[in-house]
């Protein structure tokens, strides 16, 4: 399934509005924020239909998924939006993670816990915002708000002393080369779950963490706490390094720009569990017959040359590279 979907779940007192555009959306929040109520409304609509007094408006079917037999039900559901509650213990299982990767459905997961087995985006972690006062005969309007945003973690020019890159592939090679030119040290975290341990070894240095925003969601709570504890730590979270190269306009022309403007309309969730994988495939396809031929495991030296390198750095607006 692909595309962006607007969902309205309402009865005569409550109204929830959500915009879902990826295969995995996380809704977080403490008790009494309305998360469970929203799922209860969906269950009432499914059980009682129009007699429930609940209206669910969406282009795709919306329903809850849970219970001991979830793994028997899920294979029979296709191109639906499925809501799951944190009380389902299977959410953290590898079996569920594999089922999500193979599914054509979108998943909206209501949980206060991190789910490290799932590659979800920092941009798709939400809380529920309630506006207006509650009255028996009036609706309480509930809408989602982003808890974090890949576009706003780095909000002003920042001069790092050290840059930590999530992986050790082409992205790391690019940032290491740029850092060497500008008197900045650089290291690889060797995986998104290792950021804390690597950062702690750097003391109070001004650190910039660079990671794939498309799949860093499960680690974002810990990263955010680190940033709160140490203001010298910042994050730059593009969708992926491949997205960064595409955003620089070095391959594909208008067709790629159109995709970057509305990726949800082009990315088939059953084929690409994470947008990072899609952008890698897109870059590989658009450079395969050129001197910019891209290899994820080893950086093509052409990306470190003159105008191409500068075009990439220009996309990273928040970093001060000056010596």
Three-state DSSP state, 318: coil
Task: Output the pTM of the full model.
Answer: 0.90
Instruction: Check residue 161 and report its DSSP letter.
Output: S
The answer to whether residue 152 is domain-embedded is: no
Q: What average pLDDT does this structure show over 202-225?
A: 88
Task: Give the separation between CA 101 and CA 103, rounded to whole angstroms.
Answer: 6
Q: Do residue 133 and residue 168 come from a single domain?
A: no
Q: Do residue 174 and residue 311 come from a single domain?
A: yes
Question: 286: closest CA among 295, 297, 275, 294?
Answer: 294
Instruction: Check residue 138 and report its DSSP letter.
Output: B
The answer to whether residue 32 is domain-embedded is: yes
Give the pLDDT band of residue 150 (cuts 50, 70, 90): low
- CATH number of the domain that 24 lies in? 3.40.50
Q: Do residue 10 and residue 133 come from a single domain?
A: yes
Alpha-carbon 183 to chain mean position: 31
* Percent of the chain surpassing pLDDT 90: 59
* Domain total in the chain: 2
The answer to whether residue 58 is domain-embedded is: yes
The answer to whether residue 155 is domain-embedded is: no
Q: Do residue 188 and residue 301 come from a single domain?
A: yes
pLDDT tens string 67-95: 999 999 999 999 999 999 988 999 999 99
Q: Do residue 118 and residue 230 come from a single domain?
A: no
Termini Cα distance of the chain: 47
Task: Give the separation between CA 32 and CA 321, rounded to whole angstroms.
Answer: 45
Comparing 175-184, 215-224, 255-264, the range with the smallest average pLDDT is 215-224
Q: Do residue 174 and residue 303 come from a single domain?
A: yes
Mean pLDDT of the chain: 88
Containing domain of residue 33, as a range?
Answer: 5-146
Q: Do residue 202 and residue 127 come from a single domain?
A: no
Three-state DSSP state, 187: strand
Yes or no: say if 106 and 22 are a contact pair by the CB < 8 Å rule. yes
Give the pLDDT band of residue 203 (cuts 50, 70, 90): confident
The answer to whether residue 70 is domain-embedded is: yes
Three-state DSSP state, 189: coil
Last residue within a domain, chosen from 82, 115, 146? 146
Task: Give the separation between CA 297 and CA 289, rounded to whole angstroms.
Answer: 18
Give the pLDDT band of residue 270 (cuts 50, 70, 90): very high
Q: Do residue 202 and residue 99 come from a single domain?
A: no
The answer to whether residue 323 is domain-embedded is: no
Q: What average pLDDT does this structure show over 266-283?
A: 95
- pLDDT of 183 reads 92
Of 124-133, 227-236, 266-275, give the range with the top mean pLDDT: 266-275
Last residue within a domain, chosen from 146, 170, 185? 146
């Amino acid at each position: 399934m692909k595309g962006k979907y607007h969902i309205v779940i309402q009865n005569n007192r409550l109204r929830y509005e959500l915009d879902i555009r990826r295969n995995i959306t996380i809704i977080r929040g403490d008790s009494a924020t309305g998360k469970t109520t929203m799922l209860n409304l969906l269950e009432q609509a499914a059980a009682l239909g129009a007699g429930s007094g609940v209206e669910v408006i969406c282009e795709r079917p919306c329903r809850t998924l849970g219970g001991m037999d979830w793994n028997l039900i899920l294979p029979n559901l296709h191109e639906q939006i499925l809501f799951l509650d944190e009380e389902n213990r299977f959410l953290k299982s590898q079996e569920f993670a594999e089922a999500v990767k193979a599914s054509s459905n979108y998943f909206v997961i209501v949980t206060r816990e991190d789910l490290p087995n799932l590659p979800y985006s920092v941009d798709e972690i939400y809380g529920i915002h309630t506006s207006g006062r509650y009255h028996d005969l009036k609706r309480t309007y509930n809408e989602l708000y982003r808890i974090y945003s890949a576009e706003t973690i780095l909000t002003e020019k920042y001069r790092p002393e050290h840059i930590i890159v999530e992986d050790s592939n082409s992205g790391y090679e690019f940032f290491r080369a740029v850092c060497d030119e500008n008197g900045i040290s650089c290291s690889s975290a060797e995986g998104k779950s290792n950021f804390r341990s690597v950062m702690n070894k750097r003391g109070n240095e001004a650190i910039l963490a660079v990671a794939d925003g498309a799949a860093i969601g499960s680690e974002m709570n810990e990263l955010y706490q680190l940033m709160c504890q140490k203001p010298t730590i910042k994050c730059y979270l593009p969708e992926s390094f491949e997205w960064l190269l595409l955003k620089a306009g070095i391959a594909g022309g208008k067709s790629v720009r159109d995709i970057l403007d509305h990726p949800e309309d082009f990315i088939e969730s059953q084929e690409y569990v994470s947008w990072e994988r899609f952008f890698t495939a897109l870059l590989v396809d658009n450079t395969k017959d050129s001197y910019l031929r891209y290899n994820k495991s080893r950086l093509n030296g052409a990306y470190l040359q003159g105008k191409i390198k500068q075009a990439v750095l220009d996309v990273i607006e928040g970093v001060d590279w000056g010596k």
